Chain A
């Protein structure tokens, strides 16, 4: 007979961010200014250490159409591979107080293109300090029609060896799907650009994670 009960609280259910998510999270894109300080797609400041990069792409629906009302957030380690958070205890890697490592932006209302100005992160220790994860940027995607935020990662096309050893990429059973997580490096107008298109459905559907 059961005489005791566990009283863990269930998580509050997710609901879609809706078409007007910009009002709350990036009001300038909704068409007005209200806050003194705004969060933005620029993750770097002048003193930030590391290679400046631009990350851009589109989120594409099952009909091949860009999701133009999407909101994208990124979370990443600094150039040394350390997160700006007290639970990151990789004491051998330098902290960079100028770099929070988080940014948000919306898809362009015409083209659907999102853009981040950031730095290329370093490699981060794997789960429980075992092994090394290849440099990557964590993505979180919400939009009208997305009932619960989607988690994925962008890895870097010029990190072939590190990617081949990455414990998360190696977990993807179908090897051809690993390529859906690789941002492609190119040079444009003197800037380093990684292009990372995210496919919600279809043959090229991006690998999304249950984290």
Chain B
């Protein structure tokens, strides 16, 4: 075989191209959703150019625990000055999964929210509800080896915004997710089970399917409460699946 490679064995292998399965755009709100008026001037008008994944898409930034502080996942304590913030104490927890139902390990999860009165600690927010001097409203964590995450916070309040003359956002927490490749990057929002503002919200209403809308609603999880202390909500997040994880450990040479 000197100077010649034998491709026969390799050719019998199932190619395990490391790439993400194509994004199903039908689960997401389209770029232009008329009820959410700001999308009118901020939505691309031309068709997206579909790319097969290259290294630029299957790779992405990785983060280590050493980059986070010990209170980064505790919004009750991470900005508390002389006392703890006002509002219902909650734990939010769940798994970050891929499309195959496997946990996404060691991935950065970031979150931000209004305080219990519906006011954001942001220089551009002028809502009349008071700033809570003990509440910053942001945090972050890294999933464990099973894709599990949790953090402690105050349940945020609803607030009005100028879309229609006075639209009201349901209580929500914003989430930012990375996964293992830049093509998995996602920002979304968690809503709370039973909130009557959910079906009225122009942002939620932009999601085409009932199943999709319901998938953003965190469920009250009485089993995970801290008795006489903190309520809990459970919410799983699904990132795009990877063809790689389907075949990993089953093939060599990929």
Contact = CB atoms under 8 A, between A and B. Distances in A.
Q: Do A and B bind each other?
A: yes
B3 interface: no
B61 A100 contact: yes
Given A12-B239, A75-B182, A101-B61, A142 B136 contact: no
A10 B24 contact: yes
Interface stretch (A45-53, A80-88, A156-164, A188-196): A80-88
A24 B216 CA distance: 19
B74 to A, nearest CB: 11
B150 interface: no
A135 B168 CA distance: 45
Contact of A200 (B43, B69, B124): B43
B124 A14 contact: no
Interface size class of A (residues with CB under 8 A): 35 or more
A143 interface: yes
A34 interface: yes
Contacts of B46: 205, 207-208
B59 A85 contact: yes
B233 interface: no
Nearest to A210: B48
A148 B238 CA distance: 15
A50 B193 CA distance: 51
Contact of B28 (A35, A148, A207): A148
A154 B241 CA distance: 26
A208 B42 CA distance: 13
- Secondary structure class of chain A's binding surface, majority of residues: loop
Contacts of B43: 145-147, 200-201
Given A8-B241, A14-B188, A34-B136, A146 B42 contact: yes
Interface of A: 7-25, 27, 30-32, 34-37, 61-63, 65, 67, 69, 73, 75, 77, 83-85, 87-88, 90, 100-102, 109, 124-128, 133, 136, 138, 140, 142-151, 153, 168, 171-172, 200-201, 205-211
Q: Which 6 A/B pairs are nearest by Cβ-Cβ distance?
A: A24-B112, A145-B38, A102-B61, A85-B59, A145-B42, A210-B48
Given A12-B216, A145-B42, A210-B50, 7 more contacts: A11-B99, A14-B186, A15-B189, A17-B176, A32-B121, A147-B33, A210-B25
25 contacts: A9-B238, A11-B239, A12-B239, A14-B188, A15-B203, A20-B112, A25-B112, A62-B40, A63-B41, A67-B42, A75-B60, A77-B55, A85-B59, A100-B62, A109-B123, A133-B56, A145-B38, A150-B44, A171-B49, A200-B43, A200-B44, A205-B46, A210-B50, A211-B51, A211-B53
